[in-house]
A and B are shown apart, each in its own frame.
Chain A
């Protein structure tokens, strides 16, 4: 039996179409709805808010740059998945008030206390506003404070323009500056891949603050980054948009087991590099490079790993959190990535989002924020 009983999507960007889809979902007999919409839609926020608050079913989801369904990319429109069970949803909001590590810990532990430490709930999806100030602080703290290990997968919601807007859906409306934890009724299996390889010697992160790398090898980070790329490739940064080149050369932090955590440099400012995730000071980072083939191959391997390990007793739901910058990097060939997953996914619904940052467990069990990666999750 399939874990979900209703799937509906539209490529129309009008609210009226979405409304009819939502009505169908409500009448489908489902208990919970996962609602995903594209950031390019013309949905008036107030009306969307009213629809969600009036929805009699448990509702959760978010706004993402793009969505995926089976092997297809949905650039505008919406996707609604109806589930048989009522999912437990926990919303964390108002992070702008949480300014210190202690207050964050207090904030999380008080919610955990309310939720009885999510006793009996080991599997979660996480939807969050990608522009939240300290998502890594949150996941680190959640991992530290939870009294049991969890399986988790998720991705950052929002727009590619990096302007913070309301982007997280619940029955109480649309939220910004929010994190949504959705407890799943079944075991979540995940597989993570990125396919990026190192292409030059490592650099010492001599100065960094959160997501900003100020210097590498005690020299301005931006200069080191540009020079290294210009020396090794045909690219020149003059007169070119920074991200147009940077999307080909992310940074990577290697752990003891040679696992690389990718960090996407999205902005150059004041000779510093602004990444989409923290870069630890005094760590060694690499410049990475990739080809569509290696990225897709990594995804294929991850998909094979995941689906070959699933039991055949149920038809699982598979949700993919694929980084938007992979799509921007692969451009027209991006659907290859979706297709290799679809080819391995023989049963159940396969859908996903193109996200701004991905979240998954590392092999050790810790929760990690990833960039330029893909998280395939099945339950």
Chain B
């Protein structure tokens, strides 16, 4: 082939090898490979001009764009990438400075021949022969075409990058819209959407499913005591564990807080078995303690579920029903889960009506405070516990065991608590006007969990004392052990602050809860009340006696007074005395009395 034909064919082959790919690196690689084979190269290299972020760009002379090594065939030389080859780097610098093609014979006899890719970069060939001048010139139009293709690829790459980042953002937004930020599970909104789809599918294809509602038991104390970071880690771990149960026909979501929902779809006829199995699996997941920052946390959960379309075909109802069933399971303290029953809703309706009734009763003045006196071992009255009584206009005397828990579930307990506080203060004021014995100390009122977490709780107490103009030392608060533990840090602060204001606190029902001794030591309470369950038949039960004895020693150690509740017999009294408990409350002395009768005791 004559020289002219060779040059034309070379130009043709190289020109046709340009622009076969849109991606810059791929496009340049194809070009380099053709150069490599056709020009019998030992190695071939491309440097490209880059912007400040290192992305290939058009060279702008005034801005002084820098060039960077971009591609080499082969990739390495003597164990090092070509980008670190000093000889090549020096040659590239020389080439960039000269702004025109240059060639150079190396010490090892090899040749380096460099070309400018106009405005886009540098092209270098290493050969074992000297590249003829006419070949170098024949490459010039090719380089111009290569530059155009670089421009196209750079634009394409930046578009691809933009599309990708937009896609990533869109995916992220879509993910965030559907998933819970903490756990990555579906969020409430998306679970609602999925349930809607599942209901539609169930309707069209005659399928069945279930909404399983899971709520952690006693999670709040952990969150309060250990902080949300620990709580969040537990929730995240639980979410991961729940995810391990995931199947094709299951959607798992976080409904909020410590509540999770599992959506079971395509249930077969043996659905009960499937649901029971799931409940067992969820409980099994919780048997492994959550280890967070070397601390171990053991949790349980309550589970309720509702079936669709059997029990409802609307999203809201199904979730509501599963939630109701979960609360029933929580109330029943069962880990076996509860299926929603219509009677549960009826019960709720009744409860709501009952709460309404209570509200009216409070307004009508149907509530009264009764006082159960407290005695020392000399038989002197040392104080009394104010107890709430409701005289229903129709039903007569309602049991506190019934209405207090219901009031506690609703916010009505706050109104009731406030009334109790104010009424007790009014009664104290009246008592103050009598000649109270020196032994008489104070009237104690019971405080509920909801009251305790009110930000203005302390202020409301001080206000009631002030309004009634009574000595603060006459009022005491009774808080249950469990209540204290649930809000331990806040409780400690509150009790200390009340104590500074001469208001004492007693720990009620002591011995029935799970308070740690470490906490107990920090709670600045004045009185420990031994729960009635350890007092009843204490003379016959060595176990009760042992516990009571332990509480008494504990109280002494912590410098707290000990008061035994529910003392009903002489025998119990004697036993308590022997154990070293000298303050008592119970029917043996007196039952709860209306204020007037109670006041009579001091006349």
A362 contact set on B, CB distance < 8 A: 40
Contact between chains at A364 and B127 (CB < 8 Å): yes
Selected contact of B74 from candidates A119, A144, A282, CB within 8 Å: A144
Selected contact of A147 from candidates B13, B42, B75, CB within 8 Å: B75
Bound: A257/B37 CA distance, A: 11
**B13, B17, B37, B135 — most chain A CB neighbours (10 Å):** B37
Selected contact of A282 from candidates B13, B80, B129, CB within 8 Å: B13
**B5, B16, B38, B39 — most chain A CB neighbours (10 Å):** B38
Bound: A144/B73 CA distance, A: 6
Interface bits A254-271 vs B (CB < 8 Å: 1, else 0): 111101000000000000
In chain B, positions 1-42 with a C-beta closer than 8 Å to chain A are 1, 5-6, 9-10, 12-13, 16-17, 33-34, 36-42
Contact between chains at B38 and A283 (CB < 8 Å): yes
Bound: A373/B6 CA distance, A: 24
Contact between chains at B5 and A145 (CB < 8 Å): no
Let me know if B76 is at the binding interface, CB within 8 A: yes
Let me know if B52 is at the binding interface, CB within 8 A: no
A140 closest partner in B (C-beta): B33
Contact between chains at B9 and A202 (CB < 8 Å): yes
Interface bits B460-479 vs A (CB < 8 Å: 1, else 0): 00000000000000000000
Contact between chains at B1 and A259 (CB < 8 Å): no
Let me know if A280 is at the binding interface, CB within 8 A: yes
Contact between chains at B78 and A147 (CB < 8 Å): yes
A261 closest partner in B (C-beta): B37
Let me know if A304 is at the binding interface, CB within 8 A: no
Contact between chains at A256 and B128 (CB < 8 Å): no
Let me know if A86 is at the binding interface, CB within 8 A: no
Interface bits B58-84 vs A (CB < 8 Å: 1, else 0): 000000000000000111111110000
The verdict on A145 contacting B128 (CB below 8 Å), with A256-B40, A256-B135 known, is no
Let me know if A117 is at the binding interface, CB within 8 A: yes
Contact between chains at A256 and B39 (CB < 8 Å): yes
Interface bits A111-149 vs B (CB < 8 Å: 1, else 0): 000000101000000000000000000001001111110
Bound: A363/B77 CA distance, A: 17
Contact between chains at B40 and A257 (CB < 8 Å): yes
A286 contact set on B, CB distance < 8 A: 1
Contact between chains at A144 and B40 (CB < 8 Å): no
Contact between chains at A281 and B40 (CB < 8 Å): no
The verdict on A202 contacting B128 (CB below 8 Å), with A147-B75, A148-B76, A284-B9 known, is no
Let me know if A204 is at the binding interface, CB within 8 A: yes
Bound: A283/B127 CA distance, A: 20
Interface size on B, residues (CB 8 A): 31
Interface bits A278-311 vs B (CB < 8 Å: 1, else 0): 0011111010000000000000000000000000
B75 contact set on A, CB distance < 8 A: 144-145, 147
A198 closest partner in B (C-beta): B1
Bound: A138/B233 CA distance, A: 49
Let me know if A365 is at the binding interface, CB within 8 A: yes
Bound: A201/B2 CA distance, A: 10
In chain A, positions 346-372 with a C-beta closer than 8 Å to chain B are 362-366
Contact between chains at B42 and A255 (CB < 8 Å): no
B131 contact set on A, CB distance < 8 A: 256
Contact between chains at A255 and B74 (CB < 8 Å): no
B73 contact set on A, CB distance < 8 A: 144
In chain A, positions 192-211 with a C-beta closer than 8 Å to chain B are 201-202, 204
Selected contact of A284 from candidates B1, B33, B37, B39, CB within 8 Å: B1
Contact between chains at A365 and B42 (CB < 8 Å): yes
In chain A, positions 324-347 with a C-beta closer than 8 Å to chain B are none
B37 contact set on A, CB distance < 8 A: 255, 280, 366
Give B543 Cβ to nearest chain A Cβ, in Å: 69
Contact between chains at A364 and B78 (CB < 8 Å): no
A363 contact set on B, CB distance < 8 A: 40, 128
Give B196 Cβ to nearest chain A Cβ, in Å: 42
Bound: A201/B9 CA distance, A: 13
Contact between chains at A283 and B13 (CB < 8 Å): yes
Give A283 Cβ to nearest chain B Cβ, in Å: 5
B129 contact set on A, CB distance < 8 A: 257
B41 closest partner in A (C-beta): A364
Give B132 Cβ to nearest chain A Cβ, in Å: 8
Contact between chains at B40 and A204 (CB < 8 Å): no
A366 contact set on B, CB distance < 8 A: 36-37, 40-42
In chain B, positions 115-154 with a C-beta closer than 8 Å to chain A are 127-129, 131, 135
Give B34 Cβ to nearest chain A Cβ, in Å: 7
A119 contact set on B, CB distance < 8 A: 79
Selected contact of B42 from candidates A148, A284, A364, CB within 8 Å: A364
Contact between chains at A204 and B9 (CB < 8 Å): yes
Contact between chains at A147 and B40 (CB < 8 Å): no
Bound: A143/B41 CA distance, A: 12
A255 contact set on B, CB distance < 8 A: 37-40
Bound: A147/B75 CA distance, A: 7
Bound: A150/B33 CA distance, A: 19
| A interface residues, Cβ below 8 angstroms from B | 117, 119, 140, 143-148, 201-202, 204, 254-257, 259, 280-284, 286, 362-366
Extra pairs beyond A143-B74, A284-B9 (20, CB < 8 Å): A144-B74, A144-B75, A145-B75, A146-B74, A147-B76, A148-B76, A148-B79, A201-B1, A202-B1, A255-B37, A255-B38, A256-B10, A256-B38, A256-B131, A257-B129, A283-B13, A283-B38, A286-B1, A363-B128, A365-B42
| B interface residues, Cβ below 8 angstroms from A | 1, 5-6, 9-10, 12-13, 16-17, 33-34, 36-42, 73-80, 127-129, 131, 135
28 contacts between A and B (CB under 8 A): A117-B79, A144-B73, A146-B76, A147-B75, A147-B78, A147-B80, A148-B76, A201-B1, A202-B9, A254-B1, A255-B37, A256-B6, A256-B39, A256-B131, A257-B40, A280-B13, A280-B38, A282-B13, A283-B9, A284-B1, A284-B5, A362-B40, A363-B40, A363-B128, A364-B40, A364-B128, A365-B128, A366-B37
Q: What are the nearest 10 A-B pairs in CB distance? A: A147-B76, A282-B16, A284-B9, A282-B13, A255-B40, A364-B42, A144-B74, A147-B79, A364-B40, A256-B39
